[in-house]
């Protein structure tokens, strides 16, 4: 028997950074995001012995363990090891794993968290575990942020599990995922006007987030003001989206990007600034770098008659325009007999 899973990557429209402790515990955070048709995949095949083999296409690694091994975190496939420690403790069944993602690590689409979600879904399906969506997202967060102490927020895990358009509220006691019921015409128009551009460079998000957290802990006035403003803008963007005021949505993206850049100096680079200014000069109403910043994917809201001009300008500067559609299903698992 083979079990497979896929979990969607996400684009975060606004609020990223307010989901990172200690801000989220002291002031509460909100994020507006949607999942897209780029995925993290995992497969599991049962073996006749007690070996565990993990093949990672993204890192070009094949690792072999034994079910009785004490898995050590040493920088090689630690995310996989942490999932196995949490979900296969005491397991004596040999297993083959195969994992890969449609986007490289450090792309800003939440790929690392989405891989963890895909693996949790895979093992939940195989072991018939009665885990809810909230429990799977919380487990994914715990594995990354607590067990492995990787700096980051909470939004990626919930987006990958639930899928679709969500307004997510983060508080000290609970996370609440509010699925948004948006008219199909609005979603079609939003997708028609959005442009996704790969900057050609990835980054290590944890370093940027560490700087952001340090700035917040020091209570730097500009950072506090920017993060509080991001929350306000996130609510306004959610309302604009639900009401179909997409030009307002695009302009709010620009306002949010100007605030996000104040949270840590590494969020933008000269290359990102060059691409963003070229997009604005050619008619983009707004946009932002996805994820923590520093590289990865640039998302832009364009008026329909300017989108082709913006794409052309970005590609002249080395950007790579990527086609996408929205995903509404979230984490999915299935069996191959």
Q: Catalytic: which of 19, 102, 156, 327?
A: 156
Identify the pLDDT of residue 13: 97
Angle between helix axes 307-316 and 270-281 (nearest 10 degrees) is: 150
- Average pLDDT, whole number, for the chain? 93
Identify the pLDDT of residue 205: 66
CA 268, distance to chain mean position in Å, is 18
In order of start, what are the domains of the chain with their CATH numbers? 2-181+327-336 (3.30.230.10), 184-325 (3.30.70.890)
Question: For the residues 200-222, what does the mean pLDDT come to?
Answer: 82
CB atoms within 10 A of CB 158: 29
- Contact (Cβ atoms closer than 8 angstroms) between residue 328 and residue 187: no
Instruction: List 30's β-bridge partners, or say none.
Output: 169
The first and second tokens of residue 332, run together, are 């999915």
What percent of the chain stands above pLDDT 70? 98
Identify the pLDDT of residue 204: 63
Query: Which residue bears the tokens 């997708």?
Result: 191
Answer yes or no: 156 catalytic: yes
Question: For the residues 125-136, what does the mean pLDDT come to?
Answer: 97
CA-CA distance, 124 to 118, in Å (whole number)? 10
The first and second tokens of residue 101, run together, are 């993602």
Question: For the residues 248-277, what does the mean pLDDT come to?
Answer: 93
Q: Identify the H or E element spanning 11.
A: strand 2-14
Nearest to 36 by CA among 214, 146, 145, 166: 166
Query: Which residue bears the tokens 């979900």?
Result: 87
The first and second tokens of residue 229, run together, are 């403003």
């Amino acid at each position: 028997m083979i079990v497979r899973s896929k979990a969607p990557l996400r684009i975060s429209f606004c609020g990223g950074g307010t989901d990172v402790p200690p801000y989220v515990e002291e002031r509460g955070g909100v994020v507006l995001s949607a999942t897209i048709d780029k995925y993290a995949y995992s497969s599991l095949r049962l073996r006749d012995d007690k070996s565990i083999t993990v093949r990672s296409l993204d890192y070009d690694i094949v690792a072999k363990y034994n079910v009785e091994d004490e898995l050590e975190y040493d920088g090689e496939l630690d995310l996989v090891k942490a999932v196995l420690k949490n979900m296969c403790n005491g397991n004596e069944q040999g297993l083959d794993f195969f994992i890969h993602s449609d986007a490289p690590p450090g792309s800003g689409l939440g790929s690392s968290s989405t891989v963890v979600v895909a693996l949790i879904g895979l093992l939940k399906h195989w072991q018939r575990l009665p885990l809810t969506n909230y429990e799977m997202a919380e487990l994914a967060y715990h594995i990354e942020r607590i067990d492995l102490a990787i700096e980051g927020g909470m939004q990626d895990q919930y987006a990958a599990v639930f899928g679709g358009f969500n307004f997510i509220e983060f508080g000290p006691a609970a996370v609440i995922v509010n699925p948004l019921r948006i008219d199909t015409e609005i979603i079609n128009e939003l997708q028609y006007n959005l442009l996704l551009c790969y900057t050609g460079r990835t980054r290590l998000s944890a370093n940027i987030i560490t700087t952001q957290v340090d700035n917040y802990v020091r209570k730097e006035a500009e950072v506090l003001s920017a993060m509080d403003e991001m929350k306000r803008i996130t609510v306004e963007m959610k309302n604009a989206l639900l009401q179909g005021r997409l030009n307002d949505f695009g302009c709010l993206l620009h306002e949010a990007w100007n605030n996000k850049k104040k949270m840590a100096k590494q969020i933008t680079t000269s290359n990102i600034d060059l691409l963003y200014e070229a997009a604005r000069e050619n008619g983009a109403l707004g946009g932002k770098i996805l994820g923590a910043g520093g590289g990865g994917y640039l998302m832009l809201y364009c008026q329909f008659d300017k989108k082709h001009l913006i794409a052309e300008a970005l590609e002249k500067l080395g950007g790579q325009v990527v086609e996408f559609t929205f995903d509404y299903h979230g984490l999915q698992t299935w069996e191959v007999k």
